[in-house]
Amino acid sequence: GEYIKTWRPRYFLLKSDGSFIGYKERPETSDQGLPPLNNFSVAECQLMKTERPRPNTFVIRCLQWTTVIERTFHVDSPEEREEWIEAIQAVANSLKSREPAPDALELKCGSPGAEDAEVAVGKSRAKADEVAHTVTESRVLQNTRHPFLTALKYAFQTSDRLCFVMEYANGGELFFHLSRERVFSEERARFYGAEIVSALEYLHSRDVVYRDIKLENLMLDKDGHIKITDFGLCKEGVTDGTTMKTFCGTPEYLAPEVLEDNDYGRAVDWWGLGVVMYEMLCGRLPFYNQDHERLFELILLEDIRFPRSLGPEARALLAGLLKKDPKQRWG
């Protein structure tokens, strides 16, 4: 949450130390003097294939400081995607085993003039915000206990890091399962939705508003039950009727009242639930545009549309959760 995605063509160099460096123009050699536009590490990364928002896409997820950073890449063919994934995985594996990896590998992401070669780059939080979010996450984790919230098992700190030992959710990410299956059945979506509602109602009963419901923050445990993760954007001390002002969250999941710069309350969580339920049932976001100004216009003004295959009960649920007016929104 609290980042804005932009889409740009990039050329990347993958180095044996795990550095993944992006340039606007094709670098002729690995040591040339062009300043990089992107620089992050693939050490301890996770790789996921997806066909959203377009075919031949893959996601790299890694931990930087206390924040999980995602980079989403689109390439021209399944074969090119496999080459990228194999090369990145080889470097990541070599770092785990401390064995030397191959010399720098040049990986092409698009080419000059190719309109469909894009890379989504998440803007990382400012360090001051990271610290504040980490403190909030620590408090929320220590003060909550619920079967559908990820539990904090232990916490410790080094001279420069705060470390959380979290409950192991080995069922994987809901994002991964949905990207593989495209849509869930209404029965399956109802099951996940009910567990998310239970967790959100518990947080609200503890005067906590979550503010960042999205697929990437929903894990599954070994039995297939929901585990909500990442509590850095939570707001504490929000009683029924209390409002907030901070503009935060993930663009595609922002509620209309947040975009209008109005004070907002707990209803933002029910809007977020509506968005993820829509994704589960329809296989896409209810409102989407690469241009965030246009995206925000759609969220504020566009009527929600449903696929013909969606049943009347599911339509009614989504329409109720995605009411523009928070006073009329279900929750």
DSSP string, 99-123: PPPPSPEEEEE--TT-TT--EEEEP
Which of the listed residues 122, 143, 177 is the one where a domain comes to its end? 122
Which of the listed residues 62, 93, 122 is the one where a domain comes to its end? 122
**Do the domain assignments include residue 329?**
no
What's the mean pLDDT in 164-179? 92
DSSP label at 239? -
- Mean residue pLDDT across the chain: 83
Tokens of 236: 């504490």
Q: Where are the alpha helices (DSSP H) in 41-105?
A: 78-97
Which of the listed residues 92, 122, 152 is the one where a domain comes to its end? 122
Q: What is the pLDDT of residue 29?
A: 56
pLDDT band of 128, cuts 50, 70, 90: low
CATH number at residue 197: 1.10.510.10
> Are residues 296 and 207 both part of a single domain?
yes
Which listed residue (17, 129, 212, 269) is catalytic? 212
**Do the domain assignments include residue 167?**
yes
> Are residues 237 and 287 both part of a single domain?
yes
> Are residues 147 and 266 both part of a single domain?
yes
> Are residues 26 and 170 both part of a single domain?
no
> Are residues 269 and 305 both part of a single domain?
yes
**Top-confidence residue, 69 or 247:** 247
5 pLDDT more than 80: no
**Do the domain assignments include residue 326?**
no
Range with lowest mean pLDDT among 79-88, 104-113, 157-166, 228-237: 104-113
> Are residues 148 and 74 both part of a single domain?
no
Closest Cα to residue 49, out of 23, 69, 75?
75
23 pLDDT more than 70: yes
CATH number at residue 26: 2.30.29.30
> Are residues 204 and 304 both part of a single domain?
yes
DSSP label at 18? S
**Do the domain assignments include residue 330?**
no
**Do the domain assignments include residue 331?**
no
The pTM assigned to this predicted structure is 0.64
C-beta of residue 152 within 8 angstroms of C-beta of residue 39 = no
> Are residues 29 and 148 both part of a single domain?
no
Q: Assign residue 91 a region (left: φ > 0; alpha: ψ between -120 and 50; beta: otherwise).
A: alpha
Q: pLDDT exceeding 70 applies to what percent of the chain?
A: 83
pLDDT band of 326, cuts 50, 70, 90: very high
Q: Which residues pair with 244 in a beta bridge?
A: 264
Number of domains in the chain: 2
> Are residues 132 and 232 both part of a single domain?
yes
Q: What is the pLDDT of residue 32?
A: 54
> Phi, psi at residue 154, to the nearest 5°?
-165, 150
> Are residues 86 and 160 both part of a single domain?
no
How far is Cα 107 from Cα 257, in angstroms, rounded to an integer?
42
User: Which structural domain range is residue 26 located in?
Assistant: 5-122
How far is Cα 247 from Cα 58, in angstroms, rounded to an integer?
29
> Are residues 94 and 152 both part of a single domain?
no
**Do the domain assignments include residue 272?**
yes
114 pLDDT more than 90: no
**Do the domain assignments include residue 275?**
yes
> Are residues 116 and 138 both part of a single domain?
no
> Nearest 5°: CA angle at 171, between 169 and 177?
130
**Do the domain assignments include residue 208?**
yes
Q: What is the pLDDT of residues 188-231, one digit of tens each?
A: 999 999 999 999 999 999 999 999 999 999 999 999 999 999 99
Task: Please say if 76 is a catalytic residue.
Answer: no
Q: What is the pLDDT of residue 66?
A: 46
